[in-house]
Amino acid sequence: MEVVKIVGIGLAAGMLISILRQQKPELAMQLSIAAAAMIFLLMVSRIMQVVDVMQTLSTKARVDQAQMAAILKIIGIAYVTDFGSQVLQDAGEKSVASKVEMAGKILIILLALPIILAIMETVLKLLE
Amino acid sequence: MDVALLFKIAGVGIIVAVMATVLKQAGKDEQGQMVTLVGVLLVLMMVVSLLGKFFSLVRSTFMFQ
C-alpha cells in the first residue's frame, strides 16, 4: 500500500514540524521542504506512467509533439512554482510567495503563446 | 532515498534546540547562536542536495532539456 506510506510520511513530518516550529522555525521550514521533496520523489515513477499514457494518446490523436511538450512543461512549471510558493507561505513570506507565483504565471503564458497563436490562426482561417 | 532523512533533520533540529536552550540558561548566548547556525547549515546541506535531486527529477519528468 503506497498510500499508507505517503500518508504516514506526511503525518510523521507534520508532527516533527509542529514540534520544531516552536523552538526553531527555520529548521521547521527546511523539514517541510524535505518532506515535500521526498513525497514527490516517491511519486515520480507514477507521474512518469501518467505522462507516458498522455503521450501515447496524443500521438494516436495526432497532436503536434511540440505542443504536447509545451503542455508538459507548463505542468512542470506550475508544480515547481506551487511548491515554492507554498513553502514560502508556510514560512510567512507571503509577498515573496506571490512574486514567485507571478513569475510562474508569466512563464506559463510565454509557453502558451504558440498554442494561442495557432488557435487564432485556425479561427481566422475559418472566418475567411 | 528514504524516510530516515526526515528523522535525521528532525533529530538535528531537536538537539540543536535543546543545546541552544541549555547554553542560554548557562548564560552563553553566543555559543547558543553558533550551535543554531551550525545546525541550520548542517540541515541546509542535506535539504539542498535533496532539493537538487527534486528539481532535476521534475526537469526530466516534464521534458525540459
CA distance B15 to chain A (A): 10
Specify the number of domains making up chain B. 1
Q: Which of A41, A51, A73 sits opposite B57 (nearest CB)?
A: A41
Closest CA to B51 of A17, A110, A84, A18: A84
Q: DSSP class of residue B25? A: H
Whether residues A34 and B57 touch (CB distance < 8 A) is answered with no
Q: DSSP class of residue B41? A: H
Instruction: Give pLDDT tens digits along chain A (128 positions).
Output: 889 989 999 999 999 999 988 888 888 989 998 998 898 888 888 888 998 898 899 999 988 888 888 888 999 999 999 999 998 998 888 999 999 999 999 999 999 998 899 899 999 999 88
Q: What whole-number distance in Å separates Cα of residue A73 and Cα of residue B36?
A: 39
CA distance A31 to chain B (A): 6
Q: Within 13 Å and on the Cβ side, how many CA atoms surround B13?
A: 28
Burial of A121 (C-beta count, 10 Å sphere; 0-12/13-18/19+): exposed
Q: Is the ipTM of this complex over 0.90?
A: no
Domain boundaries, chain A: 64-128
Question: Beta-carbon neighbour count of residue A117 at 10 Å?
Answer: 10
- Domain extent for B51: 4-61
Whether residues B9 and A31 touch (CB distance < 8 A) is answered with yes
B57 interfaces chain A, CB cutoff of 8 Å: yes
B62 — pLDDT class (breaks 50, 70, 90): confident
B64 — pLDDT class (breaks 50, 70, 90): low
Query: How is chain A split among helix, strand and coil, in percent rounded to 5?
Result: 90, 0, 10
List the grid coordinates of B55. Answer: 528539481
